[in-house]
Amino acid sequence: MAYEAVIGLEVHAQLLTRSKIFCGCTTQFGAPPNTQTCPVCLGMPGSLPVLNRKALEYAVKMALATNCRVAAESVFARKNYFYPDLPKGYQISQYELPLAEHGHLDIRVNGAVRRIGITRIHLEEDAGKLIHHEVRPVSFVDFNRAGVPLIEIVSEPDIRTPEEASQYLKAIRDILVYLEICDGNMEEGSLRGDANVSLRPLGTAGLGTRTELKNMNSFRFVKLALEYEIRRQRGLLAAGREIIQETRLWDASQNQTISMRGKEEAHDYRYFPDPDLAPVRIDEQWLEDLRKNLPELPAAKWQRFQDQYGLPEYDAEVLTADKALADYFEGTVKEFPHPKKVSNWIMGEFMRELKETPSLMSSVTFAASGKLLKLVEKGAISATASKGVFVEMVKTGQDPETIIQEKGLAQISDTGALEAAAREILAANPKEVADYKAGKTKVMGFFVGQLMRRTKGQANPQLANEVFKKLLNEI
Ligand code: ADP
Ligand code: MG
Ligand code: ZN
């Protein structure tokens, strides 16, 4: 029988607020254990939580960006369970009345657009962190992370392939980062995606028994884990066996998922409204202001880059994957209005340097980059030499013209200067000259290459071609 996969994602994103969700402790990462705690986030009796307005604002922004309906009133609930990283014995979350529902997100997979429903987005607090001793049977607990604000974004089971799941998660990450409400770092756990997956006979609409996959801290692992799990479930069904509803962990070292806990060990969380927190009422005017002030989102920017600048989909994709990069592109196009040339340059030279010098977007101005491209365009330097100039611009912050003058990199567009060198090259390579004469015009590339080498890339390539042609005709 043919089956199709049914996948739904639950994504947790750490919000970039300065303080925790219900107290004033800092959220800064990397401090010594338990130095960023207070009676509230340690769950001391008698302490009372107060909602961080910024955390609410960030969550609402994400809800608006994913086309959700924001509830006029939502309620915090206690999710009760016992675990040493949870000081109160419950996590403050939202349950029956979440902040936002009924959203959707359009993703592109292999050129087609797929709409993935978003069931809900709610706010909750993070737990602390257990640190297990490597040798001794001892565990430590660090509560610095306890109370850091999270949003959980739950998708409808609308995803059909591991590739779609990975694209959906990427789209979520890009929006969070564009909104500047989460750093999107999966390796460090500020963005975590759990996947629920089941199979059903192709053409049917019901839902099969699912497993939940956790512990995938990269887009690649999400894809690999789902591929493995779909294969595993298909094998069981083909053998006439049943899928057991359970939570499974991705084991990156073994490239497989392993059972963590079954349904019978599932918690009964005994959710109930938290009596310490008032319901969250959203002011309509505030909501409208947030909606109006949303930045242009990745998908809209991607489309605009194609429409406004005539860029291919691929270029638009690369440039808008990072907002700062997109801004740099637009800034440079203002200085040098040839979008495709700017795009080629940014995707090539620029991004190569960016890898080594991440600060270059602030140290090299749009004007300086635009000027460099103009100099190449008018033939003042060769494209080859411009690479060295750009490296120098990144290193010293100097103006391209200054660098060209100081280093003597101006393109040689003087026929006389090139001719002398060209004659020497021809004299030193009689075999290639004979080949050329015998009709192998391809050796022209070799001659020009030699000349480029001698002039350290300064020769005007078109002129070099002409000079060789003329000299070879004379031979
Ligand atoms: P839980 O309460 O266990 O977290 P939810 O009903 O909230 O379960 O669903 C969690 C996620 O699992 C959602 O993204 C949902 O779309 C997805 N999901 C639910 N049922 C299935 C299923 N049978 N197959 C695949 N995904 C599912
Ligand atoms: Mg859930
Ligand atoms: Zn605190």
In tens, the pLDDT along 261-298 reads: 776 666 789 999 999 999 999 999 999 999 999 999 99
**In the predicted structure, residue 412 carries a pLDDT above the cut 90:** no
What pLDDT does residue 264 have? 65
Q: Is the CB of 401 under 6 A from ligand 1?
A: no
State how far the Cα of 433 lies from the Cα of 467, in Å rounded to an integer.
Answer: 14
Q: Is the CB of 193 under 6 A from ligand 1?
A: no
Burial of 204 (0-12, 13-18, 19+ CB in 10 A): exposed
Q: What is the mean pLDDT of residues 356-365?
A: 89
Domains and CATH numbers, the chain: 3-212+234-243+263-286 (no CATH), 296-407 (no CATH), 415-474 (1.10.10.410)
Indicate the residue type of 123.
Answer: L
In ligand 1, which atom is closest to the CA atom of 198? 24
Q: Residue 274 has which token pair? A: 């938290």
Taken in order 319, 322, 325, 326, the sign of the CA dihedral is positive
What pLDDT does residue 225 have? 96
103 with 68: CB under 8 angstroms? yes
CA of 196 to the centre of ligand 2 (A): 9
**In the predicted structure, residue 457 carries a pLDDT above the cut 80:** no
What pLDDT does residue 263 have? 67
- Structure confidence by residue, pLDDT tens digits, 232-245: 999 999 999 999 99
Probe ligand 1: pick from 3, 196, 213, 233, max atoms within 8 Å of CB?
196
CA of 15 to the centre of ligand 2 (A): 19
**In the predicted structure, residue 303 carries a pLDDT above the cut 70:** yes
Taken in order 315, 319, 320, 322, the sign of the CA dihedral is positive
Q: Which ligand is nearest to the CA of 212?
A: 1
Looking at mean pLDDT, say which of 42-51, 266-275, 391-400 comes out highest.
Answer: 42-51
**Which whole-number Å values give the CA distances from 147 to 52, 166, 185, in the listed order?**
11, 28, 19
The rounded percent of the chain whose pLDDT value lies above 90 is 76
**In the predicted structure, residue 410 carries a pLDDT above the cut 80:** no
Give a three-class secondary structure readout of the chain: CCEEEEEEEEEEEECCCCECCCCCCECCCCCCCCCCCCCCCCCCCCCCCCCCHHHHHHHHHHHHHCCCEECCEECEEEEECCCCCCCCCEEEEECCCCCEEEEEEEEEECCEEEEEEEEEEEEEECCCEEEECCCCCCEEEECCCCCCEEEEEEECCCECCHHHHHHHHHHHHHHHHHCCCCCCCCCCCCEEEEEEEEEEECCCCCCCCCEEEECCCCHHHHHHHHHHHHHHHHHHHHCCCCCCCEEEEEECCCCEEEEEEEHHHCCCCCCEECCCCCCEECCHHHHHHHHHCCCCCHHHHHHHHHHHHCCCHHHHHHHHCCHHHHHHHHHHHHHCCCHHHHHHHHHHHHHHHHHHCCCHHHHCCHHHHHHHHHHHHCCCCCHHHHHHHHHHHHHHCCCHHHHHHHHCCCCECCHHHHHHHHHHHHHHCHHHHHHHHCCCCCHHHHHHHHHHHHCCCCECHHHHHHHHHHHHHHC
What pLDDT does residue 403 have? 86
Q: Residue 229 has which token pair? A: 């799990």
Q: Tell me the β-bridge partners of 447.
A: none
In ligand 1, which atom is closest to the CA atom of 10? 14
CA of 203 to the centre of ligand 1 (A): 20
CA of 148 to the centre of ligand 3 (A): 9
What pLDDT does residue 163 have? 96
Any residues with CB less than 8 A from the CB of 15 and at least 6 apart, and which? 21, 54, 55, 58, 59, 148, 149, 150, 151, 181, 182
Q: Which ligand is nearest to the CA of 230?
A: 1
CA of 155 to the centre of ligand 1 (A): 8
**In the predicted structure, residue 305 carries a pLDDT above the cut 70:** yes
CA of 21 to the centre of ligand 3 (A): 9
Q: Is the CB of 154 under 6 A from ligand 1?
A: yes
Q: Is the CB of 210 under 6 A from ligand 1?
A: yes
Indicate the residue type of 452.
Answer: M
State how far the Cα of 147 lies from the Cα of 279, in Å rounded to an integer.
Answer: 19
Q: Which ligand is nearest to the CA of 9?
A: 1
Atom 5, ligand 1: residue with shortest CA distance: 154
CA of 61 to the centre of ligand 1 (A): 24
Q: Is the CB of 6 under 6 A from ligand 1?
A: yes
Q: What is the mean pLDDT of residues 378-392?
A: 84
Q: Is the CB of 157 under 6 A from ligand 1?
A: yes
Any residues with CB less than 8 A from the CB of 216 and at least 6 apart, and which? 193, 195, 222, 224, 225, 250
Side-chain-facing half-sphere of 411: CA atoms under 13 Å: 20
Residue with the two structure tokens 């938290």: 274
Q: What is the mean pLDDT of residues 172-183?
A: 96
Q: Is the CB of 57 under 6 A from ligand 1?
A: no
CA of 153 to the centre of ligand 1 (A): 12
Any residues with CB less than 8 A from the CB of 210 and at least 6 apart, and which? 6, 196, 197, 198, 243, 245
CA of 127 to the centre of ligand 3 (A): 12
Residue with the two structure tokens 């002011």: 283
What pLDDT does residue 78 have? 97
- pLDDT tier at 210, thresholds 50, 70, 90: very high
- Structure confidence by residue, pLDDT tens digits, 65-106: 999 999 999 999 999 999 999 999 999 999 999 999 999 999
State how far the Cα of 103 lies from the Cα of 108, in Å rounded to an integer.
Answer: 17
In ligand 1, which atom is closest to the CA atom of 158? 16
Q: What is the mean pLDDT of residues 205-216?
A: 93
Q: Is the CB of 10 under 6 A from ligand 1?
A: yes
Burial of 310 (0-12, 13-18, 19+ CB in 10 A): exposed
Look over the chain and give the mean of its residue pLDDT values, rounded to a whole number. Answer: 93
Q: Tell me the β-bridge partners of 193.
A: 11
